[in-house]
Structure 1
Amino acid sequence: MKRILVVDDAATVRLYHRNILEAAGYAVDEAVNGIEAMEKALQTPFDLYVVDINMPKLDGYGFLREIRSQEIAQPPAIMVSTEAESNDRHRAYRAGANIYLIKPVKPDGLLTYIRLLLAEERT
């Protein structure tokens, strides 16, 4: 079973993503900020990250830059944010995101990108 780490400071958003992902058959873990996400990612490998930008302590950009600098397996990352400016998108890609989505994310859209990044066949 593929493991996905959802990183967002909003409990409602984490629950929303967890419900979508678990219903699709993924194992989900959560982190409330980039620091907690770093700790979890360094302890246990994940197959994909779903990351918010605006979080306390360490934001999504900082988390991706930091995790990408580690000598560990580098799973794909989807950055999900309310920030819709092209500069935010460019910063996300420079930090190490593979895909940038604007909140609120539609379940089918999120799952399509996840399956694409994980090279899974749609069932």
Structure 2
Amino acid sequence: MLQPPGALPIRVLVVEDNRDICDNIAAYLEKHNFILDFAYDGISAMHLAVTHAFDVIVLDLTLPGMDGLHFCQKLRTEAKLQTPLLMLTARDTLDDKIKGFEVGADDYLVKPFALQELHVRLHALFKRSNGKAENVLTVGDLTLNKSTLQVHRSGQRIDITPTCMKLLQRLMEVSPSVVTRDTLETLLWADEQPDGDALRSHMYKLRQAIDRSFEQPLIHTVHRIGYRIAEDM
């Protein structure tokens, strides 16, 4: 048994357009403490990856909408997500594997494959990533504990709303990079965008909580693009 009794389930996004393969993966992994979500094209997969927290992503290369290489590249460079990713594909040449690793894949499994091997590889990726994960995000004198969801600045406890917590965590995870308005709106509301500029309102509340009582502002607006959090511009 790879996971001890009482271990938290591993949440996996499977991006694969072959429904039979998806059914086989689900039938096997769901018996081994995995929670699975499925996407059958690259565009839907990107939406799920940005709006939900996954422990590992299983990615086919040949996909409608957006191929696997393009998906992986956008995940790493635009969405700034470092979720462990296993490429699952029939392409088995060394050149194919090199291309996969170059765009950000963490592992590579060639079809046809044994479900037991997929299980072992996913667990290894999860364990490796979990061991490296930092529970506390830090930008300057601001900290966010991802386990307790406690925010402190200069040792002072700061209480913020759940919506602002989502915004703050994403901004801190990629600091000092800019997060686009579209990315933040998708994170909060997916496809059901509210009327008006609700994002601006939530960012104002976040600024009031994080910056109002301190001399140096950390949250910065990048005109017509989005927001970033950093000690200085």
Alignment correspondent of 2:41: 33
Confirm or deny that 1:71 pairs with 2:80: yes
- Paired residue type of 2:121: Y
Looking at CA atoms only, which structure, 1 or 2, has the larger radius of gyration?
2
TM-score normalised by L of structure 2: 0.49
Q: 1:1-123 to 2 correspondence within 5 Å? A: 1-69=9-77, 70-72=79-81, 74-119=82-127
* Residue 119 of structure 1: how far off its partner (Å): 1.0
Distance 2:48 2:91 in 1: 26
- C-alpha distance in 2 between matches for 1:17 and 1:11: 10
TM-score, L = length of structure 1: 0.91
**What residue in structure 1 maps to residue 158 of structure 2?**
none
CA RMSD of aligned residues (A): 1.3
Q: Does the C-alpha gap of structure 1 residues 71 and 83 become closer, same or farther in structure 2, counting only changes over 3 Å?
A: closer
- The answer to whether the 8 A contact 1:78-1:98 is kept is yes
- 4+ runs of 1 displaced by more than 3 Å? none
Structure 1 segments unaligned to the other structure (5+ residues) = none
Residues 68-101 of structure 1 deviation map (CA, whole Å, 9 limit, x = unaligned): 12134x2111101011111110111011111111
Q: Matched residues in 2 for 1:18 and 1:28: separation?
A: 7
Q: Deviations over 1:21-72 (max 9, x none)?
A: 2111110000011111000111111110000001111011111111112134
